[in-house]
Structures are given as structure tokens and as C-alpha cells.
Amino acid sequence: MSDIPQVPTELDIQASLIAEANGRRRQMLLTAFGPIIEAALQDDAVIEIMVNPDGRLWIERVGEGRVDMDVLLQPAESERIIRLVAAHMRGEVHEGAPIVSAELPHTGERFEGILPPVAKAPCFAIRKPASKIYGLIDYVEAQILSPLQAKALSEAVVDRQNIIVVGGTSSGKTTLVNALLSEVASTGDRVIILEDTRELQ
């Protein structure tokens, strides 16, 4: 029996072209971000990267909180990054539509970019997806929840009770909801999640 080479289908070719284009877009973004932001995106300990309207770069690491990187981005650099992300989403960003909410290609980081007049100067935040999903047991082991509180939350999930999770930026809402969703996984129930920007796992 002879080896007959597989001829790629039209779908294979389209998928390959899309992957190639996404790879180029990702590389353009990484180049625009610069070496410090690119390194932070590849660092598993980093959970958020922020550039404030004053141009200062801040990085939040697990267990360390926010750290000023002593780096100043010029407004034109921040604006270029925001415009590149908008272009990736095939969208526009300008004075009449100054906010960009997007997911970066390949690795799924959440991006929020803001231009004037909403902010004094261009600024953005990049939130990385969780590298680890914590369960309620992890909250107990870290003494964030008591065993009784974890049991009450688990029972509320099993009993299909409504649970509202609220809090400020970087307060752990997504991490807690992911822990609750891991409880749903043990029930065998089918779950539909509606999000404007993908966060839950």
C-alpha cells in the first residue's frame, strides 16, 4: 500500500490562514507592548498589567499586589496599543467611541483601553486568565472561608440557590465564581454562561 499524501481541504486552508493571521496580529501587539509588558504577559505570577493616564506602568503579581514598574509610556504609545487592539477586533476607537473591550488573540487576556474624553490620556489594563482554578477547599485551606461557610456555599450551588458575587476591581470575584462553578461540575448539571467578555472557566 503506497502512502498517498493528504490534500488539505478548503476548511483546513482557511483555518491555517486564520491561525497565521492571528499569529501576525499577536506578534504586532507584542511588539507594540514592548519588552516589559511582553515579559509580564509571559510571567505566570502576573495577573494584571495597567497603564494609567499618567503613563505609569503597574503590574499586579499573585501574593505581591500592585508594583510600580518605574516605566513611563508616552500617550502616543498607549494610544497605538489601544488602536491595534481595536483593529484586531475589527473595530474602531475614536473620540465618539473611546472605549475598547477585547480579548487578546491566542491566550485570551482581557483588554480594556480608554481614550480621551473618557480619560485624561490613553490608558489600558490587561487582565490575564487564571492559570489555576481554586475550589472552595482551597479557600478553606487558605483560611479565607471557614469549613462551615464553604459547606453553605456548596449546598447553595447544589440546591440551585441564587448567589450574588460583588466587589471592587481585583477583589477576587472571578476566582470565587470559578470555585462555585467547580462545585456545579460535581452535580452533572448543564450550565450556560453568558458573559460580555470571557472570564469564567
120 and 146 in one domain? no
Edge-to-edge order in the sheet of strand 99-103: 65-72, 56-61, 46-51, 123-127, 110-114, 99-103
pLDDT of residue 194: 77
101 and 193 in one domain? no
Nearest to 138 by CA among 199, 179, 87: 179
188 and 143 in one domain? yes
114 and 147 in one domain? no
pLDDT of residue 1: 52
140 and 183 in one domain? yes
Give the pLDDT means over successive 10-residue stretches in the chain (201 positions). Answer: 72 78 77 88 91 95 86 94 88 91 83 95 91 85 92 91 85 85 82 71 64
184 and 110 in one domain? no
Total structural domains within the chain: 2
Considering the domain boundaries, does residue 1 fall inside one? no
List the domain range (segments joined by +) for residue 103.
10-127
Q: Which three cell numbers stand for residue 108?
A: 485570551
pLDDT of residue 111: 92
pTM of the model: 0.72
